[in-house]
Amino acid sequence: MRLRNVKNKEEILNNCDYLIKNPESYQGKWKTLFKNDNPIYIEIGMGKGKFLIENALKYKNINYIGMERFDSVMAKAIKKIPESIPNLRLIRMNALDIDKVFSKEIDLIYLNFSDPWPKKRWYDRRLTSKVFLDKYDYIFKDTKRIEMKTDNEDLFIYSLESLSKKGYTLSDISFNYHQTHSDIIMSEYEMRFSKEGKNVYHLFAQNK
């Protein structure tokens, strides 16, 4: 993926009140930052932020945290935030460090159009690999819930298998999600794929 540089990205990041510069210091106590006991949903790889921002605006009783590793992408997302959103926070970090930032406090993870890492030697980098699923064990508050969308069939099949092996119960499995779901909040990628007529794969996974 080739990323376009964003002019003044450092200034945008440094001046953003939503971006948490020291996320490790909030491990186990994110509710103190939000100042409530509402559920916390995180999106790993939030991209330009459309999905996360629209959800935070629509569902005020849920706290949303977006994670993104690339500075330029995060800067683009910040520029899209239209107004004060008290239930929204952002983290710029590599998902491999997720268990250093959260501890038994996350209610749901969104994985929207994650990098498929297509070569077999890269499979451990997939966000539904055992490497990451083991890390998620440490951050879920109680019941583990993961909602995933992708346009990559190979990644989808892989994820169905890896989540099942980890003990997750799978539901709402769809190989053409937009055929049966229309009134949904879409990410930028999802809107593009929908317009192009590409299949969007979806699953919901839960492990008690």
Catalytic (active site) residue 115: yes
Query: What residue has token string 């590409």?
Result: 198
Task: Decide: pTM greater than 0.85.
Answer: yes
Q: What is the pLDDT at residue 4?
A: 62
- pLDDT value, residue 173: 96
Residue 2 domain-assigned (yes or no): no
User: Residue 4: inside a domain, yes or no?
Assistant: no
Query: Does any domain span residue 56?
Result: yes
Measure CA 38 to chain center: 18
Kindly state whether residue 124 falls inside one of the protein's structural domains.
Answer: yes
On whether residue 1 sits in a domain, the answer given is no
- Find the CATH number of the domain harbouring 82: 3.40.50.150
For residue 55, being part of any structural domain is answered with: yes
- Cross-strand bridge partners of residue 67: 44, 91
- Does residue 86 form part of some domain? yes
Report, as ranges of residue numbers, the positions in the chain whose pLDDT lies below 50.
Answer: 1-2
Q: How many domains does the chain have?
A: 1
Instruction: Please tell me the distance from the alpha carbon of residue 190 to that of residue 177, in angstroms, as a whole number.
Output: 11
SS3 of 23-43: the string is HHHHCCCHHHHHCCCCCEEEE
Catalytic residue among 107, 115, 124, 154: 115
Q: What is the extent of the structural domain holding 61?
A: 9-207
pLDDT of residue 3: 53
- Structure-block tokens of residue 8: 């003044």
Asked whether residue 111 is assigned to any structural domain, the reply reads yes
